[in-house]
Structure 1
Amino acid sequence: MEKQGHSEMEITPSDSRSHVKLLKIHRELLVTHIHNTQCLVDNLLKNDYFSTEDAEIVCACPTQPDKVRKILDLVQSKGEEVSEFFLYILQQLTDAYVDLRPWLSDVGFIPSPLIQSKAIVNTDPVSRYTQKLRHQLGCDSKFMLCYSKKEEMLLEETYTDTIMELISFNNESLGSLGSPACLLDQSAGVLNEQAETVFVFGDAGVGKSMLLQRLQSLWASGRLDAGVKFFFHFRCRMFSCFKESATLCLQDLLFKHCCYPEQDPDEVFAFLLRFPHTALFTFDGLDELHSDFDLSRVPDSCCPWEPAHPLVLLASLLSGKLLKGASKLLTARTGVEVPRQLLRKKVLLRGFSPSHLRTYAHRMFPERAARERLLEQLEANPNLCSLCAVPLFCWIIFRCFQHFHTTLDGSSQLPDCTVTLTDVFLLVTEVHLNRTQPSSLVQRNTRSPEETFQAGRGSLLALGRAAYGAMAKSLFVFSQEQVQACGVQEEDLQLGFLRAVPELGSEGGQQSYEFFHITLQAFFTAFFLVVDDEVGTPELLAFFHEWVPPGEVAAASCYPRFLPFWRVGGSGPVRADPFKKKDHFQFTNLFLCGLLSKAKQKLLQHLVPLASLRRKRKALWAHLFASLRTYLKNLPRVQSGGFNQVQAMPTFLWMLRCIYETQSRKVGQLAAGGICANYLKLTYCNACSADCSALSFVLHHSRKRLALDLDNNNLNDYGVRELQPCFSCLTVVRLSVNQITDSGVKVLCEELTKYKILTYLGLYNNQITDVGAKYVAKILDECRSLTHIKLGKNKITSEGGKCLALAVKHSSSIVDIGMWGNQIGDEGAKAFAEALRNHTSLRNLSLAFNGITSEGGRSLAQALHCNTSLQIFWLTKNELNDDVAESMADMLKVNQTLKHLWLIQNQITARGTAQLAEALRQNTGILEIWSVSSST
């Protein structure tokens, strides 16, 4: 009997008689772990295994365990097929019966073809909620955000990836990301394994919101990580709409302000608490979070059922005190700092590269003729190309072009002169004002810009009044009462500049509005300040006071800027609004300068008295110059290498942008005269190609030679083209880590060889190939004062290496060549060996990480027998072996000039190191040799 009982326990599922017995043997396990009986009853009914009477019997049971026992009794009584189908339901509905997955795997249940042909209906609340979330987010993300519903464009047809770069805590590049889905990669670019938040940052208009919308679309269509069952999207500005007294529990925040489950919300929430790793949260625009109340006395929220202020819930989610294990994506504008302990990754959005721009143009203009006409106009206008590197501005420019193309009989023409950002926003405003005019197939609208703005003055002023009132408080969402109080009428809303927002904090039923983009709100704020004659000088200049004084920059950067409630429970005061971002003020200043420029006087004198325009312009110019002088005077200066060097900050770029918007030669000359230093350092300022327009506008007025350091920014080839006017005065050009390709290097070659005053060229870590290397070689050939070239970490192979080496050989001025991280190989190494032989000026050479093997290494060692100038030689991280070490040892017995030799991370063993050490007995000049992992 004992043996027989044992054999029953080991019956395999493949035995056709085993399914009923399997249910009997594991009855109590099933009763314990089956919590959802409705799914079982629904599927048994659908496949005619249960009758209506069976279902009623189950429903009549008083408790859930009793229901499970009754279902098991009925299923077993109906035989093997029904029992097998019962197991099949448990296997297929993984969310509903998650606890039974290990058991099903252990018993090795494999359904028969007959059972697999049966349809399974998933009525599980978790699955139904996931399905509803996918549907809702799919609808919400289907169209790209536009000015009005008439212009809605399918996201799938128009979205174009931007440059996404993984960044270290020190803002150093860790490589690029290929697609939005890569943001959820659990391996690449991880800075802190314990953290859960991926922080995505970039300038206004660079595409942060669009990136999240793309992620929503991918998840909704099942093209994102299958492990993500819940996707909760929040816009941070929403949290500013809650009253100070508002409280919510986490369940209400998720379900009432995202998507509500159709059935059993408690069961869905319980699943989420149990499996938080299945949830993805996105929080868009943390810099737009506005808090004007004190949360210092509010405790941290660690209990998911305890009501708390929504801002506290937000902080607790980000810190992992709530739903630890969930993935979070957080976006903000550049300059916002998040505590390191929260950050799993940092990702910098850099906008469109030239190739991205072409892709976007193809998507926006499928018709070849229109697309080619657009690209031709952009190619002829580098200034427009620079603006198009920012996706938002690119979209606006393209939409204007599209409007001209469809309304002007195909004779679409973008402005062919210097275009400022103010011009772009005035143009799009004019386009939308004209769309309110009755259309005709036989008669085009012939209103001039002056007539258009004059006709729309009332609407623009009302919108500007609303924008200004909120801008002063850093608010970006308006209630219906606020909009009406500013005089905004229904026809003004139809223009599309303001759009309805579905949620407004705890007042969910109240209609609220926001401007299409924060830059548009800044434009309308500036328009109001210029056009309203009652605005005085204090109000006009108010936002200029938001510029950070130089003396406060260091202190501000040292303070851990996070949410106002981050120090809840700590000693010491909470800093007021520490997450406040100033870009919206800076854009307002920029548009003020553009609107008050003399070039706009013809347009605006029909809207505001000319005397008022002149008064405001005079006050603005005086304040702008005073600010610039004070700023430059207080910047720290360093005397280095014969230069008076000044490290400028991003605020300086904003000042230059404002000066550029004036398009005044006199203003540019005065600004250039205020720059006393001759070495301008603008590293890590997140400068983009459009900033080069402003920088060049000022610097080309300089009467002295300058050094310009723009390393570690985002200039790309458009930025290089925009710098053309000032190359005539630049002796040092540093453009490392700037997404520059061969096209940009060609421009450098054409310009720098005109003036031949260059001494230093830095192009490290760009995207330069052998084609660009040939341009650099030409620069070296023709610029006889060039002493330093940095070309490391590009894409240069042996062909480019040979061209550069030949130019080095013929140069009598070159002192330092950096080629680390290319792939010149042995052929390139041999060419450099030939250049080294008998060279008289070259002192520093790095050929590290270049795929050089023993053949190339021996050639270099032999060449150094005849060299008496080289002092530092890096061959780190190649494929050099002991034979090369022996050749280097022989060289050191002859060469007494070399001071530093780096050979680490090669294939040199203790034998090769010993030979190098032995050579030191006959060398009195060498200071260090790094070989293997020790120095000798």
Structure 2
Amino acid sequence: MEKQDHHEMEVFQLGCHSHIKLLTVNREHLVTHIRNTQCLVDNLLKNDYFSAEDSEIVCACPTQPDKVRKLLDLVQSKGEEASEFFLYVLQRLEDAYVDLRPWLSEIAFSPSQLIQSKTIVNTDPVSRYTQKLRHQLGCDSKFVLCYAQKEELLLEDTYVDALMELVGFNNESLGSLGSLACLLDHSSGVLNEHGETVFVFGDAGVGKSMLLQRLQSLWATGRLAAGVKFFFHFRCRMFCCFKESEALCLQDLLFKHFCYPEQDPEEVFAFLLRFPHTALFTFDGLDELHSDFDLSREPDVCCPWEPAHPLVLLANLLSGRLLKGASKLLTARTGLEIPRQLLRKKVLLRGFSPSHLRAYARRMFPERAAQRRLLEQLEANPNLCSLCAVPLFCWIIFRCFQHFHAALDGSSQLQLPDRAVTLTDVFLLVTEVHLNRTQPSSLVQRNTRSPAETLRAGWATLRALGRVAHLGTARSLFVFGQEEVQASELQDGDLQLGFLRALPELGPEGGQQSYEFFHLTLQAFFTAFFLVADDKVGTKELLRFFREWAPPGEAAGTSCYPAFLSFQCLGGGSQAGPEPFRNKDHFQFTNLFLCGLLAKARQKLLRQLVPKATLRRKRKALWTHLFASLRSYLKSLPRVQSGGFNQVHAMPTFLWMLRCIYETQSQKVGRLAAKGISADYLKLAFCNACSADCSALSFVLHHFRRRLALDLDNNNLNDYGVRELQPCFSRLTVIRLSVNQITDTGVKVLSEELTKYKIVKYLGLYNNQITDVGARYVAQILEECKGLTHLKLGKNQITSEGGKYLALAVKNSTSIADIGMWGNQIGDEGAKAFAEALKDHTSLTNLSLASNSISTEGGKSLAQALQQNTTLTIFWLTQNELNDEAAEYFAEMLKVNQTLKHLWLIHNKITAKGTAQLAEALRNNTAITEICLNGNLIHPEEAKVFENEKRIICS
């Protein structure tokens, strides 16, 4: 039958151009695959090919195949033009007639100009639903929710991309991600071809929710992923709102709890099941999913029509048991991991770089003069500037600047404390700004209330907000219903301040309104405010959340976050413990703000609200506990004796403690903390430290009286962080700042500081953003710091110009022993400069010029220089462009040089000829232990010739 149909189709294509006959020949094929007759009828009616009576005749048929047959009969009876238009509708409305796409391509149907001029209306349920989704997501994502009362900002006017970095399973960097569209690109950064989830993680406030809002906006306006027809956005915390007894099927979860189709929901759902790859799911804030629901007892759900608890549906969507092939994008805070089998990509959201910050300033301050004043103020206050690396805090600070700029007609700068500005200062400022905005405004009279007067006037509001925040934090609750709001005595006006925002009502019938704080950090701030200001809070309750921290003495590498959804369906198995979803950031931020609010500098402000004796009692209890906790924690950290150092590897908990100490702004606390650090090598690599943490680190370490080694590799410090470390540089002999987005500006700070004290021995700046300008600053450090022995500058942006500066500094140094320049672009000119430095050098033992675009000329110079060198033992020239001619010169060198032990020429252009010359030279050289030639132009058969020379490694 199929062969006959195909033959008849060929007959039509070769000689018969009748559209009526085409419909006749393929009648049963069309009857089988046309599932939507209404869309065809609608278009035939609109273009006057059908009458109302024709439409009624089709609709009166009892079954779908009967409707299609009657429709074909009527269309063919109308003539060639109607039949051609019928085919044109099938061709244009691809979603409605997806099963006919291969057939339409095979017959190569091409409509006439007349038919193409006709108007097509798309009444297909799937297309209508896609349009509805675009409209809903477009409306939902158009405005940015903000703190200010009755104020909405257009997303298009305020959104700026943050730094996105592709990472591996163990969070090792795989390069930056250029745009949001790359999140859904299947050609780069794929860790697991079978995984379906793109996992985006980052710190609180770094912009994960904003990123999803931007994705929604792009899709709604047709600027993202043309193949995505369904976009379902869920916030993970909504799954906590379902009762344990509730059960939904997947269709109800998608339609009743997100967006309901206006017509034929069964047909829309059937399309989704047939083509799951056309759907994109985004799940925001997995770390906010807090539930006691035990999913390990629940069976897997593979059937989309089977009712189950919504959490079970979520788990099976993520595992691919439901709608396998659909794309999923999941966000969570740093520290939460998901099983590898689920991952397709892993993306670290880092926040704003200096360039992003400037772009954001241009968005928020369109006037150039205002931009300049803002950036100058941030430059003058590195503490605020470092906070701006986190987009949420950047927005808070910029809004405060905008408020004071408008209030003072731009005639004065924002008034900030003389001391360092802490996170508590910023949130107090936010509170003051918004309490003041509720006051009646006047064109002729400015608000002159002091901060204390403002807080006193808003005391009832602050107390109510603190009460509801404390209630939620104590229970790890982030969404509040009417009962919690009423119990806290919050008034309607308090709800309009912008600290709390209303959530969409769940379910098709709606329900009681629920609320959440704009951000977790705000809830933590008001919790701390309640603990300080409420006279009924005793010392035990005051310190409660400190006990929620990871206990001292945890094994190294233990995270303060739980494992990802510990469901059997995700491969994790059942785990003991009552709360598998619990996170601790809200506790840690509460402790942070508690230290800030009880700091001495804020006592004058808080005495307007809290009795002096109460503040004194709470301060004493907090300091006693903080000292004891810090001492216990530092003693518990394991020590390692390595390289002559007593090394301690601190964990992120240590950074939280430093942040708390910094919030106190107490030099006494800082001195006591420094005294407790008995090690002389402090390792904080891979701790997700940001530039603001450098402020806290410096606050303690500048009290350290001995010399110290500091490892901050693989964090997010940038130039602001380097600047914040200035008070420490008089103590540091080892400084490791690799993979930290440091530019020439940060290197300039290093040069200015390190050349003052001249004690640095090890400087690590691998994989940053240093150019030839920065290379000149590094050369100055090398020239003036006579004790510098190790310098790591690989994977930066240094060319031959910077290479020459560095080589000259190396030549003049009598202490340098190890230079790492892998992954730059110094070329032959730079190589010649290093060759000049190698001649008769007295201290250099290790040198890497790998991956530096060095060809034969540069290689010849280096080989000739080594004939006069008696110190170098390890030389890496991997991944360059050295050929047999260069190999000949290295062979000549080996006949003379009896010091070099390791020569790496991996991945160059050396053939068996060059290898033979090197092998021949080894007859006169007993010192060298290996010449590595893997990845060169040597065939396996040729490599066998050198098997007896064990020092030649080429396979």
TM over 0.5: yes
Structure 1 position 601 matched with structure 2 position 603: yes
Give runs of aligned pairs for residues 526-537 of structure 1, distance below 5 A. 526-537=528-539
Q: Which residue of 1 aligns with 2:80?
A: 80
Q: Which residue of 2 aligns with 1:133?
A: 133
C-alpha distance in 2 between matches for 1:691 and 1:9? 72
Q: Which amino acid aligns with 1:484?
A: Q
Q: CA deviation at 1:145?
A: 1.7
Structure 1 unaligned residues grouped into runs of 5+: none
C-alpha distance in 2 between matches for 1:177 and 1:392? 21
Could you say what secondary structure the match of 2:330 adopts? Answer: strand
Could you say what secondary structure the match of 2:433 adopts? Answer: helix
Could you say what secondary structure the match of 2:501 adopts? Answer: strand
Q: CA deviation at 1:625?
A: 1.1
Q: CA deviation at 1:368?
A: 1.7
Note the alpha carbon deviations across 1:205-229, whole angstroms, 9 max, x for none: 0000000000000000000010000
Could you say what secondary structure the match of 2:868 adopts? Answer: coil
Q: Which residue of 2 aligns with 1:453?
A: 455
Q: Which residue of 2 aligns with 1:660?
A: 662
Q: Which amino acid aligns with 1:734?
A: R
**Which residue among 907, 915, 924 is the counterpart of 2:917?**
915
Q: Which residue of 1 aligns with 2:299?
A: 299
Give runs of aligned pairs for residues 116-131 of structure 1, distance below 5 A. 116-131=116-131
C-alpha distance in 2 between matches for 1:6 and 1:611? 94
Note the alpha carbon deviations across 1:32-60, whole angstroms, 9 max, x for none: 00000000000000000111111011011
Q: CA deviation at 1:503?
A: 3.3
Q: Which residue of 1 aligns with 2:786?
A: 784
Q: Check the 8 A contact 1:241/1:505 in 2, yes or no.
A: no
C-alpha distance in 2 between matches for 1:579 and 1:255? 26
Q: Check the 8 A contact 2:561/2:584 in 1, yes or no.
A: no
Shift of the 389–5 alpha-carbon distance from structure 1 to 2, 3 Å rule, reads closer
Shift of the 51–912 alpha-carbon distance from structure 1 to 2, 3 Å rule, reads same
Q: Which residue of 1 aligns with 2:377?
A: 377
Could you say what secondary structure the match of 1:141 adopts? Answer: helix
Note the alpha carbon deviations across 1:261-315, whole angstroms, 9 max, x for none: 0000010000001100000000000000001232332111111000100000000
**Which residue among 719, 739, 742 is the counterpart of 1:740?**
742
Could you say what secondary structure the match of 2:851 adopts? Answer: coil
Q: Check the 8 A contact 1:336/1:579 in 2, yes or no.
A: no
C-alpha distance in 1 between matches for 2:342 and 2:572? 18
Could you say what secondary structure the match of 1:110 adopts? Answer: coil
**Which residue among 819, 827, 832 is the counterpart of 2:829?**
827
Q: Which residue of 2 aligns with 1:150?
A: 150
Q: Which residue of 2 aligns with 1:643?
A: 645
C-alpha distance in 2 between matches for 1:935 and 1:625? 57
C-alpha distance in 1 between matches for 2:12 and 2:582? 65
C-alpha distance in 2 between matches for 1:918 and 1:79? 89
Q: Please tell me the root mean square deviation across aligned C-alpha atoms, in Å.
A: 1.7
Q: Check the 8 A contact 2:280/2:326 in 1, yes or no.
A: yes
Q: Which residue of 2 aligns with 1:751?
A: 753
Q: CA deviation at 1:507?
A: 8.2
Give runs of aligned pairs for residues 534-933 of structure 1, distance below 5 A. 534-554=536-556, 556-557=558-559, 561-566=563-568, 573-933=575-935
Structure 1 position 419 matched with structure 2 position 421: yes
Q: CA deviation at 1:178?
A: 1.3
Q: Percent identity?
A: 81
C-alpha distance in 2 between matches for 1:710 and 1:450? 40
Q: Check the 8 A contact 2:202/2:349 in 1, yes or no.
A: yes
Structure 1 position 108 matched with structure 2 position 108: yes
C-alpha distance in 2 between matches for 1:247 and 1:774? 66
Q: CA deviation at 1:900?
A: 0.5
Q: Which residue of 2 aligns with 1:318?
A: 318
Q: Which residue of 2 aligns with 1:92?
A: 92
C-alpha distance in 2 between matches for 1:390 and 1:571? 35
Q: CA deviation at 1:558?
A: 12
Shift of the 761–640 alpha-carbon distance from structure 1 to 2, 3 Å rule, reads same
C-alpha distance in 2 between matches for 1:505 and 1:671? 52
Q: Which residue of 1 aligns with 2:277?
A: 277
Q: Check the 8 A contact 1:715/1:739 in 2, yes or no.
A: yes
Q: Which segment drifts farther, 214-223 or 490-499?
A: 490-499
Q: Check the 8 A contact 1:300/1:568 in 2, yes or no.
A: no
Q: Check the 8 A contact 1:504/1:512 in 2, yes or no.
A: no
Could you say what secondary structure the match of 1:897 adopts? Answer: coil
Q: Which residue of 2 aligns with 1:262?
A: 262
Q: Which segment drifts farther, 449-458 or 149-158?
A: 149-158
Q: CA deviation at 1:256?
A: 1.1
C-alpha distance in 2 between matches for 1:376 and 1:297? 58
Q: Which residue of 2 aligns with 1:222?
A: 222
C-alpha distance in 2 between matches for 1:836 and 1:295? 65
C-alpha distance in 2 between matches for 1:483 and 1:176? 43
Could you say what secondary structure the match of 1:328 adopts? Answer: strand
Could you say what secondary structure the match of 1:551 adopts? Answer: coil
Note the alpha carbon deviations across 1:853-891, whole angstroms, 9 max, x for none: 111011101100000000000000001111111111111
Q: Which residue of 2 aligns with 1:935?
A: 953
Q: Check the 8 A contact 2:256/2:508 in 1, yes or no.
A: no
Could you say what secondary structure the match of 2:351 adopts? Answer: coil
Q: Which amino acid aligns with 1:713?
A: N
Q: Check the 8 A contact 2:567/2:574 in 1, yes or no.
A: no
Q: Which residue of 1 aligns with 2:174?
A: 174
Q: Which residue of 1 aligns with 2:938?
A: none
Shift of the 704–87 alpha-carbon distance from structure 1 to 2, 3 Å rule, reads same
C-alpha distance in 2 between matches for 1:746 and 1:505? 58
Q: Which residue of 1 aligns with 2:521?
A: 519
Q: Which amino acid aligns with 1:882?
A: D
C-alpha distance in 2 between matches for 1:877 and 1:743? 30
Q: Which residue of 2 aligns with 1:328?
A: 328
Q: Check the 8 A contact 1:564/1:576 in 2, yes or no.
A: no
Shift of the 39–13 alpha-carbon distance from structure 1 to 2, 3 Å rule, reads farther
Give runs of aligned pairs for residues 458-497 of structure 1, distance below 5 A. 458-497=460-499
Shift of the 375–612 alpha-carbon distance from structure 1 to 2, 3 Å rule, reads same
C-alpha distance in 2 between matches for 1:569 and 1:10? 53
Note the alpha carbon deviations across 1:618-662, whole angstroms, 9 max, x for none: 111111111111111111111111111100000000000000000
Q: CA deviation at 1:5?
A: 12
Give runs of aligned pairs for residues 427-446 of structure 1, distance below 5 A. 427-446=429-448
Q: Check the 8 A contact 2:826/2:853 in 1, yes or no.
A: yes
Q: Check the 8 A contact 1:407/1:444 in 2, yes or no.
A: yes
C-alpha distance in 2 between matches for 1:757 and 1:558? 36
Shift of the 285–560 alpha-carbon distance from structure 1 to 2, 3 Å rule, reads closer
C-alpha distance in 2 between matches for 1:474 and 1:166? 31
Q: Which amino acid aligns with 2:212?
A: L
Q: Check the 8 A contact 1:239/1:505 in 2, yes or no.
A: no
C-alpha distance in 2 between matches for 1:226 and 1:107? 26
Could you say what secondary structure the match of 1:646 adopts? Answer: strand
Shift of the 437–13 alpha-carbon distance from structure 1 to 2, 3 Å rule, reads farther
TM-score normalised to structure 2 length: 0.96
Could you say what secondary structure the match of 2:735 adopts? Answer: strand
C-alpha distance in 1 between matches for 2:267 and 2:8? 37
